Amino acid sequence: MLKKELLALAEREVDLIEKLGGPWTPEEYEKIVEANTVIHNKYVDMAIENPEELEPLKRAIYMQWIGMIEPKVNTAIDGLDPEKEKNAIEMLNYNLYNGNVDKEFLSMVQIYYMITDWFTDYSKADNKYLKQFFKEIDQLKRKKLQEYGMLSGHYKEFDYDRRGGMGRYFKEHYVNENAFKAYENVRKKWDKK
């Protein structure tokens, strides 16, 4: 059932993205914005109801990030529910601590962080594991960028087809191994506690 819902939401996202490419009225644009907000809310709700499944959380976090870095006219992601955004970040923080992340998600989060510091908007909340992960990425960055292949290399093992806007974005951009190294380092510190 979850896969069916995710597929339907991905198809809806792609439809909305394609509508942005053509002529639209301000009213039509507002409907696209509202539809994206509904989709984001559904992803967060699905992530809460199915905490072992990472895909809904990946998509929710992606929508928050892309809505922050891209002009609104390109994404029609605007005015997401702040409580839902906070829930998604808290779930990411919780999953990092509990080891419920995969290589793909770590790479995505690293790229989000490397491109913009939008995560700092959530620094008032107690997201200490997320902050420690970013601190470790920063330390690795300062070493030798090329030693870990920072923002280079693409992992073909991830399938981005039929995964909505997130899939489209990551099909065209790089994912790298530095996130895995940073996460391993920070997990060692947490495990010692």
Distance CA 113, CA 119 (A): 7
Instruction: Output the CA angle 13-70-30, nearest 5 degrees.
Output: 55
DSSP 173: S
Residue 12 pLDDT > 80, yes or no?
yes
Answer with the residue of higher pLDDT: 142 or 85. 85
Highest mean pLDDT among 15-24, 33-42, 98-107, 141-150: 33-42
pLDDT tens per residue, range 37-66: 999 999 999 999 999 999 999 999 999 999
Domains held by the chain: number: 1
pLDDT tens per residue, range 122-146: 555 677 788 888 777 777 665 544 4
Q: What is the pLDDT of residue 35?
A: 97
Q: What is the pLDDT of residue 6?
A: 95
Task: Quote the domain boundaries for residue 25.
Answer: 2-192
Distance CA 70, CA 4 (A): 29
